[in-house]
A and B are shown apart, each in its own frame.
Chain A
Amino acid sequence: MNMSKRELKRILYVEDEIDIQTVAKLALETIGGFTVEVCDTGRKALAVVPKFKPDLILLDVMMPDMDGPTTFNALRSQPASADIPVIFMTAKAQQNEITEYKRIGAIDVIPKPFDPMTLAQIVCDIWTHHGNQT
């Protein structure tokens, strides 16, 4: 699939912390102009994906119940979300961790805390870069 041909419009953000959800939604919607949906658990994300049909999923690593990698695997195993690119969001962005997430299939990792003023740009850059690679 050639991502650069596709425009990034719809983003699903999976994050259990409501304050961060609010900031991210604000940043991605008002600055980036994206349509954003947020979920606070991996389980809800799995249910939302078929209806919302996101172009991209931002996935928090540390969540209660289902953590980021578990959610990622579950997303990959259901047809509706198997091909949607995923970016991990993590506070412990150490190199070995980043490598590991990329190895299991994430297109990139964004360290937390993110700067709300530049988050949309970072997401765009990753999207473009990823599109050019594949």
Chain B
Amino acid sequence: MATRPENIREQLTALRQEYIRRLPERLGEIEAEWADLLREDWDAEKLRIMHRHAHSLVGSGATFGFPPVSDSARLVEQTLKELSEKPRPTDHTIENKLESLLMELRKAVIQASRELPPLLLDEDTYNDKPPSPTGKARMVYLVEDDENQAEDMALQLQHFGYEVRIFTTLKTLREALKATAPDAIIMDILMPDGDGLSALAEISRDIAPNVPTLVVSILRDFELRLRAVRAGTKAYLQKPVDIGELVDKLDHLTGVKQADPYRVLIIDDSSVMTEYYALILRHAGMLTRTCHDATQVMGALEDFNVDLILTDVYMSGCDGFELAAVLRQQDAYMSVPIVFLSTETDLDKQLMALGTGADEFLTKPITPHQLVSAVTSRAQRARLLRELMLHDSLTGLLNHTTVKERLVKELAQALRRRVPVSLAMIDIDHFKSINDRFGHLAGDRVIKSLAHLLQQRLRQSDVIGRYGGEEFMTLLYDTTGQQAKVLMDKLRDDFAELRHQASEKLFRATFSCGIAAVSGKIKASDLTDLADRALYQAKHKGRNQVVLVNS
């Protein structure tokens, strides 16, 4: 017997995970076929195809160790067989039975998916690495033999702050890699001068082991995806490439501080459906919350910072249209996109939905891919708009008003969860004299570099805002005063090390910091005053230092 058992176990585990990952899609296929059968003409050929798909889940479910998937798929298979043996029955008994069997299958798939480790979620930790030179673009090597496609992708990536170098052969890529390593490699694996995946395997083994690699391909077969995983690639994207998805992956892999995952609230009477949609969206890296009763939606929205609401149309208690109207009457939810999901194909009804404030109408059944891309594009646009409203244009940090609002919310949440928080006020020392001596442009650069440093070093869960001209506020969640002091002192040291440029001259700047630590109930304004007073003390004691007070 040839190979070590650990090795094959690893490979089997990889296969199994890939299988689980694709399960929702396969289920979606079956459900779409069923909906199609019910809607269109009853067609023996369609029944046969659906039967085959169900059958394939029977076998594969059992092989990969998911007996509930296999068993429920077998019942679906048997019922389909029954249906295919005679003309479409006039009563709906068997059809209803099949519906409920599909529901069981869906549950089994959801259950199976729980075994999957979470995908691509950032570990929320402080980043102790020194910042890269401020403002430097990240370099991506794009390996693609179709020059038009390559140019197009390069152009789009540049909008997201990536510098792109295009290679049309593997040979030129290898040479370039020996000279400089990029931050990431994107490769179309069908290359004229050799097998892309073997090249990637070799690159990640011998030439540039620390450079993350991403594969784009028109091919979708499993074998290739598996080979890609074995070659050490971090992502496999289907062509045509969804640029948003690609950028998200790149941002993640190249260590860019990523925006929070999208937060989606899903409302549907049926808990199986909400779970199913939640599962699909979570696998795409989003955060979800579900609600089975539209009248409870206000509670579900609380402290969730929702980016998008996905709701069914027909629900008991309150239908989707009414729900949209209710939400639109509240300032806080006026701009949150609302997407309707329904089996409704009546165009008039759809138009009516759009009239009441829905942003999009998706028709069920929907494939996981369609759902993810519809939600992503809506959420992306809504975020962008909000970004413009809520953020400071120079630094991209939260603006004064927003950071104050967030402070109130975060304090309430911290109190509920009984975690300590620390509020730090940071002020650049002698900023006026920096402006006077080196000019406002240089001053702006100092502000930006401090903003950049804070963003890189603090966690995603921390709130960072530009409070005033050269004043910053950060709220450190689940952090004691002592921890905050150590962290801020380190940041202060590192900031003082940075060299800023003003025409011919290089200079350094420092900051002072006041921290107020809190572990009980306190008003946001009182906490801000405390931190302000600590900051004043730090300034008074000679600047370039951190002072901690406890509330």
Residues from chain A with a CB closer than 8 A to the CB of B223 are 22
Do residues B11 and A26 form an inter-chain contact, with CB atoms below 8 A? yes
**How far apart are A30's CB and chain B's nearest CB, in angstroms?**
4
Residues from chain B with a CB closer than 8 A to the CB of A113 are 59, 62-63, 65, 70
- The yes or no answer to B5 lying at the interface (CB within 8 A) is yes
Do residues A19 and B222 form an inter-chain contact, with CB atoms below 8 A? yes
Per-residue A-contact encoding for B198-226, CB less than 8 Å = 1, 0 else:
00000000000000000000000111001
**A30 and B64 contact, Cβ closer than 8 Å, known pairs A19-B19, A116-B8:** no
Closest to A62 in B: B55
A: contact size bracket: 20 to 34
Q: With A and B bound together, what is the CA distance between A113 and B1 in angstroms?
A: 21
**A17 and B59 contact, Cβ closer than 8 Å, known pairs A26-B15, A31-B2:** yes
Residues from chain A with a CB closer than 8 A to the CB of B222 are 18-19, 22
Which of A16, A33, A116, A120 is the one whose CB lies under 8 Å from B56?
A16
Q: With A and B bound together, what is the CA distance between A115 and B1 in angstroms?
A: 16
Which of A29, A32, A114, A117 is the one whose CB lies under 8 Å from B63?
A114
Which of B2, B12, B48, B60 is the one whose CB lies under 8 Å from A17?
B60
Do residues B8 and A30 form an inter-chain contact, with CB atoms below 8 A? yes
- The yes or no answer to B3 lying at the interface (CB within 8 A) is yes
**How far apart are B48's CB and chain A's nearest CB, in angstroms?**
8
Do residues B2 and A23 form an inter-chain contact, with CB atoms below 8 A? no
A 94-134 contacts with B by CB, 8 A: 112-114, 116-117, 120-121
Residues from chain B with a CB closer than 8 A to the CB of A19 are 15, 19, 60, 63-64, 222
**How far apart are B512's CB and chain A's nearest CB, in angstroms?**
61
- The yes or no answer to A58 lying at the interface (CB within 8 A) is no
Do residues B55 and A23 form an inter-chain contact, with CB atoms below 8 A? no
Residues from chain B with a CB closer than 8 A to the CB of A26 are 8, 11-12, 15
Q: With A and B bound together, what is the CA distance between A20 and B226 in angstroms?
A: 14
Q: With A and B bound together, what is the CA distance between A32 and B55 in angstroms?
A: 28
- The yes or no answer to B7 lying at the interface (CB within 8 A) is yes
- The yes or no answer to B463 lying at the interface (CB within 8 A) is no
Residues from chain B with a CB closer than 8 A to the CB of A117 are 5, 8-9
**How far apart are A118's CB and chain B's nearest CB, in angstroms?**
11
- The yes or no answer to B97 lying at the interface (CB within 8 A) is no
Do residues A30 and B59 form an inter-chain contact, with CB atoms below 8 A? no
**How far apart are B19's CB and chain A's nearest CB, in angstroms?**
6
Do residues A64 and B1 form an inter-chain contact, with CB atoms below 8 A? no
Residues from chain B with a CB closer than 8 A to the CB of A31 are 1-3, 5, 8
- The yes or no answer to A27 lying at the interface (CB within 8 A) is yes
Per-residue A-contact encoding for B1-35, CB less than 8 Å = 1, 0 else:
11101011101100100010000000000000000
Residues from chain B with a CB closer than 8 A to the CB of A82 are none
Closest to A65 in B: B52
Residues from chain B with a CB closer than 8 A to the CB of A18 are 221-222
Per-residue A-contact encoding for B397-414, CB less than 8 Å = 1, 0 else:
000000000000000000
Do residues A22 and B8 form an inter-chain contact, with CB atoms below 8 A? no
A 68-116 contacts with B by CB, 8 A: 91, 112-114, 116
Do residues B8 and A23 form an inter-chain contact, with CB atoms below 8 A? no
**A33 and B2 contact, Cβ closer than 8 Å, known pairs A22-B226, A91-B62, A116-B8:** yes
Per-residue B-contact encoding for A1-36, CB less than 8 Å = 1, 0 else:
000000000000000111110110011011111000
Do residues A17 and B8 form an inter-chain contact, with CB atoms below 8 A? no
Closest to A124 in B: B1
**How far apart are B401's CB and chain A's nearest CB, in angstroms?**
54
Which of A16, A23, A32, A91 is the one whose CB lies under 8 Å from B1?
A32
**How far apart are A124's CB and chain B's nearest CB, in angstroms?**
9
Residues from chain A with a CB closer than 8 A to the CB of B65 are 113
B 64-84 contacts with A by CB, 8 A: 64-65, 70
Residues from chain B with a CB closer than 8 A to the CB of A91 are 58-59, 62
Residues from chain B with a CB closer than 8 A to the CB of A112 are 59, 62-63
Q: With A and B bound together, what is the CA distance between A18 and B26 in angstroms?
A: 13
**How far apart are B475's CB and chain A's nearest CB, in angstroms?**
48
Closest to B57 in A: A17
**How far apart are B18's CB and chain A's nearest CB, in angstroms?**
9
Q: With A and B bound together, what is the CA distance between A38 and B19 in angstroms?
A: 19
Q: With A and B bound together, what is the CA distance between A30 and B12 in angstroms?
A: 11
B residues apposed to A, CB below 8 Å: 1-3, 5, 7-9, 11-12, 15, 19, 48, 52, 55-56, 58-60, 62-65, 70, 221-223, 226
23 contacts between A and B (CB under 8 A): A16-B52, A16-B56, A17-B60, A18-B222, A19-B60, A19-B64, A19-B222, A22-B223, A22-B226, A27-B8, A29-B2, A30-B3, A30-B8, A30-B11, A31-B3, A32-B2, A62-B59, A112-B59, A116-B12, A117-B5, A117-B8, A120-B1, A121-B1
A residues apposed to B, CB below 8 Å: 16-20, 22-23, 26-27, 29-33, 62, 64, 91, 112-114, 116-117, 120-121
**Top-9 shortest CB links A-B:** A113-B62, A33-B2, A30-B3, A19-B60, A113-B63, A17-B59, A17-B56, A20-B63, A30-B8
Taking A16-B52, A62-B55 as given, write out 9 further A-B residue pairs in contact, using a Cβ cutoff of 8 Å, ordered by the A residue number: A17-B60, A18-B221, A18-B222, A23-B15, A32-B2, A91-B58, A113-B65, A116-B8, A117-B5
